[in-house]
């Protein structure tokens, strides 16, 4: 049972309303502009469905509970998948079930993100009707990035702390600043690699010609003008990698799918 549904049943409250009464300091203001994700004040975390003793299907996604907040989550029998600081708060991502997928992927079921002050829970992000809507988190400049729990995991939004103290869940930026503002990456996720590379070139990234290959798929991409293909996998999610260089550093792009022009799944930047 998803945590959002569990909370609604336990507390007898509509899911769109705050899911728990706050004792002590007032609850923080929260806002979500990300489709399918709810963000509510919450003071008490239920135990995970299934209780203690169960095993994660992909244990590599479970991280040690380092902070008081993460330890409080683990004590309620949830699997901790990430934690990061956000102003005076601590964000902790956690889930009740992790299932191994193809190509080393992991489906994260009933994932959530809790916001804590010390060990005290103050707010919760959870999926609205989708058990794979929240997967894990990681710190980023100016906030905390959220990934979903689907196969493969994809970023879905950023948690930020506004100047007025509101905790805000924002959509992914249309252009992401990298390397302290010395470079920028346009929103290329989900785009065919030929469309994505045109946007990257316009943003100042130069394709780096890949090595000679006997792989039919890599050679076909090169014939189509995508000379920066750096390798492809013929199994699972059919990953391909591509390399670019810019004034800020090196950019790597990963696609999935076995079509003629696979779609961008993720990218990473190594700053100079």
Q: What is the pLDDT along the chain (272 residues), one digit of tens a residue?
A: 556 545 543 332 333 334 344 456 788 999 999 998 999 999 999 999 988 889 999 999 999 999 999 999 999 999 999 999 999 999 999 999 999 988 788 999 899 999 999 999 999 999 987 778 999 999 998 899 999 999 888 999 999 999 999 999 999 999 999 999 999 999 999 999 999 999 999 999 999 999 999 999 999 999 999 999 999 997 788 999 999 999 999 999 999 998 999 999 999 999 99
Together in a domain, 139 and 203: no
Together in a domain, 146 and 198: no
Do 71 and 92 meet the contact criterion of CB atoms below 8 Å apart?
A: no
Together in a domain, 182 and 240: yes
Q: Looking at the domain assignment, is residue 57 inside a domain? A: yes
Domain boundary among 134, 157, 172: 172
Please give the pLDDT value at position 142: 87
What is the torsional sign of CA 205, 206, 208, 214?
positive
Together in a domain, 162 and 190: no
Together in a domain, 185 and 164: no
Domain boundary among 172, 199, 229: 172
pTM assigned to the model: 0.84
Q: Which domain holds residue 255?
A: 177-271
Please give the pLDDT value at position 108: 94
Please give the pLDDT value at position 16: 35
Together in a domain, 182 and 165: no
Q: Looking at the domain assignment, is residue 8 inside a domain? A: no
Domain boundary among 129, 154, 172: 172
Together in a domain, 239 and 134: no
Gap between the Cα atoms of 115 and 127, Å rounded: 15
* Buried/exposed code over 240-272 (b: 16+ C-beta within 10 A; e: otherwise): bebbbebebeebbbbbbbeeebbbbbbbebeee
Together in a domain, 73 and 181: no
Q: Looking at the domain assignment, is residue 25 inside a domain? A: no
Together in a domain, 37 and 167: yes
Number of domain units in the chain: 2
Please give the pLDDT value at position 25: 74
Together in a domain, 184 and 159: no
């Amino acid at each position: 049972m998803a945590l959002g549904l569990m909370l609604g049943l336990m507390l007898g409250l509509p899911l769109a309303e705050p899911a728990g009464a706050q004792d002590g300091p007032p609850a923080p203001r929260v806002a979500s502009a990300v489709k399918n994700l709810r963000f509510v004040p919450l003071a008490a975390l239920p135990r995970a469905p299934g209780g203690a003793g169960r095993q994660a299907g992909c244990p590599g996604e479970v991280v040690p509970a380092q902070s008081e907040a993460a330890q409080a989550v683990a004590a309620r029998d949830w699997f901790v998948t990430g934690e990061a600081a956000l102003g005076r708060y601590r964000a902790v991502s956690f889930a009740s079930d992790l299932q191994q997928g193809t190509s080393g992927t992991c489906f994260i079921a009933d994932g959530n993100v809790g916001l804590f002050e010390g060990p005290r829970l103050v707010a919760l992000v959870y999926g609205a009707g989708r058990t794979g809507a929240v997967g894990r988190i990681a710190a980023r400049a100016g906030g905390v990035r959220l990934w979903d729990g689907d196969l493969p995991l994809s970023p879905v939004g950023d948690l930020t702390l506004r100047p007025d103290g509101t905790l805000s869940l924002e959509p992914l930026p249309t252009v992401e600043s990298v390397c302290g503002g010395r470079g920028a990456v346009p929103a290329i996720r989900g785009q065919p690699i030929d469309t994505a590379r045109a946007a990257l070139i316009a943003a100042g990234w130069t394709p780096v010609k890949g090595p000679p290959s006997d792989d039919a798929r890599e050679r076909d991409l090169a014939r189509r003008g995508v000379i920066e293909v750096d390798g492809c996998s013929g199994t699972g999610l059919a990953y391909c990698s591509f390399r670019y260089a810019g004034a800020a550093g090196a950019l790597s792009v990963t696609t999935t799918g076995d079509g003629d022009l696979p779609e961008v799944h993720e990218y990473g930047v190594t700053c100079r």
